Chains A and B, each alone.
Chain A
């Protein structure tokens, strides 16, 4: 509870600071607020407190909250001079990001489906505005509108699902829904099943899983890169946490029923994401499609529900989040310098700025899943979990997809190190260096010694 309050208060303070044109104070204020919120997550660890029957800050919620907060913090550090070039109303954007974060904290810690909906909407509405932050830019407007229409559409599915489940069980409470399923497994109301499917569709829309992924590439490409970073990392992580809380928790007794559509979604997501990413010439769009394929890997852990499923998603989401933050940070730097985010604009980066190129290389290796990076551990625990039920064919399919992934992630490595580009000096501002360093350290440490995160939840 303290976490949401802190973040919301910070958001308001930032808004007021903006009112008095104290632009220099915005970032320090936000950082302090987020660090306080992070402190509260650590204090609440192992507390497992239930707040008014609506939210439950168990370790699952806290771990995901921490990942979201740290991710947001790093993204804030990337804002240095970023919004200044886009608009005058910087404080508003800071506030919107903070509100979105508050919504995400609700999404990862809800105990009542009403809170899921409220959290999701707080987050989504903020993001609709953020996607359209460049008011004069056509692509940004398109992204915003598309995101809004698709988001509203999917919310409809979600709400309808919630209604049906309420009709069947008479409650929004996750524990009560689960108790209902456990107590009468033979006589589950027939309207419960369409409810589950509708909620699955609604949430698949939100996390961008195929075949409900059509909005992602355009929205990710059209939005300002920083907002794309936010959407494809932190927002996605929160979306999966919400997914997991519902399906690995409340709906777990019905696993046999919903696993079939889930497998279809996973296979489609992996395949479509990977194969389309392969043909992209634009780095940002490639990341957008690859984020679809990562959604597939993340959903992979739900195919076999075990005591590790939740933790596996945490490991994977953490690995993915920090690697993507590196990728987008470098993308922003390169785009500022060359004006383009095609693969060609990365040519020769290894010579111009070896350390930035090295960070991006490590990020790409992690996203591709090479050992000694966090991404490998993430993929490994996923595969291990599913192999545990001897779903060998599924794992083989995922491995083939991982193989395709190597190909497109290495495209940018090839461009950076093996191709010669224009000799433009590229230097990273101090804050970018901090972000890159923190993310690289997290990626490598989790890759070499993952024991610190493996049994967290």
Chain B
């Protein structure tokens, strides 16, 4: 219990301290982020891989309203907690070359957001979940709107209103479940045990699904995403794509499937269709992108579409694939955005056609970029493969036609990703890229870490699957049991 409380509040304490450190905020925030990573690794190592909730903290909070500070870690949360605490130090390190104005506020907000994210990923109380959900949103809004690029105010307002609209209806759903619960509390297990009619489940499904779909984002709720990713500072984009979109996926697994299985059964087909439309649509748009950052943003929509389809397929392969792919996608997309940021910081452009021949000037960058791209396109032996393979298997078990279309992502992805690589890195150097310097210092550290993770997790993913397996099985059993009633 103490470990978990420390895990959640350490970044918050770090944020408060960092806010007062002024110029040395980089160092202070790095220390706290690495300490958090150590703590997460400790928890993951001591986690007994079964379906139980461990490190549980269950304290009274607002007793009059039936709200408890109830958090814990089970197989479903371990990977996302690990991902969060792994990516935050990477993201902070990736900012070392930047000199942001008012750095103390910048790094404090990142750590504050980390606390909110961890709260989302460990909450076992719906109200706590909601608090974390919003607590993660406010800092990222400020990060993107203060340190972002062109037109950042309008774009982030759209992003904010979009997400808050979704979450307010989720709040309504949470209140409804609370009122249905005879014990009048927000406990996750009590929500699982509720007996709701199919009609009620349908409504609750939409109240939650829209919030999650906006976060992920699933077509047609994605319109905020490419602009926001492009206008945000790189660290903001990494936080959004690497960690924040996992809130939507995690929320669907934890709060949607087991609570309203009949709703999922009724509307899940639609969700899968939307996801698959999103995959194809985003891939097609990614083909036409001239800006590499936007291309990666669209590819992210395609990848998330597959994960979401895998979840709603409601079988163990799809679910396991989603768990692993959440981790892999987080690592890969952060790597991609970081490489693009390095390129941008040297030549001040991310336009694909203006680049070329960087590989000659920066061979090390070329190699790590290639590894990250191969991970993204799910080459066997990289971390992307195992996740996408399981996801496709899950979708295949749901329906062959769905798998056939969803499988296009892998082909599409390979085409537009490799074409981008070819145009950016290969070919002849031009006047812009001739002076390109290779990666060094923290850049090397971050990118090599990411590459090692991509390869190691690709070759030996068993520990990850092992961590989540029991919980995923248990969750699906719960769902199936409720469906039989």
A residues apposed to B, CB below 8 Å = 354, 365, 370-372, 380-381, 383-384, 387-388, 390, 392, 395-396, 399, 402-403, 406-407, 410, 414, 417-419, 449-451, 454-455
Tell which of A371, A395, A410 touches B134, judged by Cβ atoms closer than 8 Å: A371
Q: Is there contact, CB below 8 Å, between A403 and B65? A: no
Tell me which of A372, A384, A388, A418 has the highest count of chain B C-beta atoms within 10 A of its own C-beta: A418
Q: Is there contact, CB below 8 Å, between B142 and A417? A: yes
Q: Is there contact, CB below 8 Å, between B172 and A414? A: no
Which segment of B32-40, B159-167, B310-318, B375-383 sits at the interface? Answer: B159-167
Tell which of B62, B105, B138 touches A370, judged by Cβ atoms closer than 8 Å: B138
Chain B interfacial residues counted at CB < 8 A: 29
Apart from A414-B145, A414-B157, list 17 A-B contacts with CB within 8 A: A370-B138, A371-B131, A383-B171, A383-B172, A387-B179, A388-B179, A392-B172, A396-B172, A399-B168, A403-B161, A403-B165, A407-B161, A410-B157, A410-B160, A419-B153, A449-B62, A451-B62
Please indicate the chain B residues that have their CB under 8 angstroms from the CB of A407 in the complex: 157, 161
Please indicate the chain A residues that have their CB under 8 angstroms from the CB of B169 in the complex: 396, 399
Q: Is there contact, CB below 8 Å, between A417 and B135? A: no
B residues apposed to A, CB below 8 Å = 61-65, 105, 130-131, 134-135, 138, 142, 145-146, 152-153, 157, 160-161, 164-165, 168-169, 171-172, 175-176, 178-179
Q: How far is the CB of B196 from chain A (nearest CB, A)?
A: 14
Q: Is there contact, CB below 8 Å, between A406 and B160? A: yes
Question: Interface residues of B: mostly helix, strand, loop or mixed?
Answer: helix
Please indicate the chain B residues that have their CB under 8 angstroms from the CB of A454 in the complex: 62, 64-65
Question: Interface residues of A: mostly helix, strand, loop or mixed?
Answer: helix
Q: How far is the CB of A240 from chain B (nearest CB, A)?
A: 21
Q: Is there contact, CB below 8 Å, between A371 and B130? A: yes
Q: Is there contact, CB below 8 Å, between B145 and A384? A: no
Considering the chains assembled together, what is the distance between the CA atoms of A453 and B390 in angstroms? 51
Please indicate the chain B residues that have their CB under 8 angstroms from the CB of A387 in the complex: 172, 175-176, 179
Please indicate the chain A residues that have their CB under 8 angstroms from the CB of B175 in the complex: 383-384, 387, 395
In the complex, residue of chain B having the shortest beta-carbon distance to the beta carbon of A369: B168
Q: Is there contact, CB below 8 Å, between B172 and A372? A: no
Q: Is there contact, CB below 8 Å, between A455 and B64? A: yes
Across the A-B interface, give the 10 residue pairs with the lowest CB-CB distance, nearest first. A371-B134, A454-B64, A399-B168, A371-B131, A387-B175, A451-B62, A418-B145, A455-B64, A418-B153, A403-B165
Tell me which of B64, B146, B176 has the highest count of chain A C-beta atoms within 10 A of its own C-beta: B64
Considering the chains assembled together, what is the distance between the CA atoms of A370 and B171 in angstroms? 12
Considering the chains assembled together, what is the distance between the CA atoms of A343 and B3 in angstroms? 46
Q: How far is the CB of B180 from chain A (nearest CB, A)?
A: 10
Considering the chains assembled together, what is the distance between the CA atoms of A395 and B176 in angstroms? 11
Q: Is there contact, CB below 8 Å, between B164 and A406? A: yes
Q: How far is the CB of A202 from chain B (nearest CB, A)?
A: 34
Q: Is there contact, CB below 8 Å, between A384 and B138? A: no
Please indicate the chain A residues that have their CB under 8 angstroms from the CB of B63 in the complex: 451
Considering the chains assembled together, what is the distance between the CA atoms of A450 and B66 in angstroms? 12
In the complex, residue of chain B having the shortest beta-carbon distance to the beta carbon of A351: B102
Considering the chains assembled together, what is the distance between the CA atoms of A371 and B138 in angstroms? 10
Considering the chains assembled together, what is the distance between the CA atoms of A381 and B67 in angstroms? 12
Q: Is there contact, CB below 8 Å, between A372 and B157? A: no
In the complex, residue of chain A having the shortest beta-carbon distance to the beta carbon of B167: A371
Considering the chains assembled together, what is the distance between the CA atoms of A395 and B169 in angstroms? 10
In the complex, residue of chain A having the shortest beta-carbon distance to the beta carbon of B134: A371
In the complex, residue of chain A having the shortest beta-carbon distance to the beta carbon of B148: A418
Please indicate the chain B residues that have their CB under 8 angstroms from the CB of A392 in the complex: 172, 176
Considering the chains assembled together, what is the distance between the CA atoms of A403 and B169 in angstroms? 11
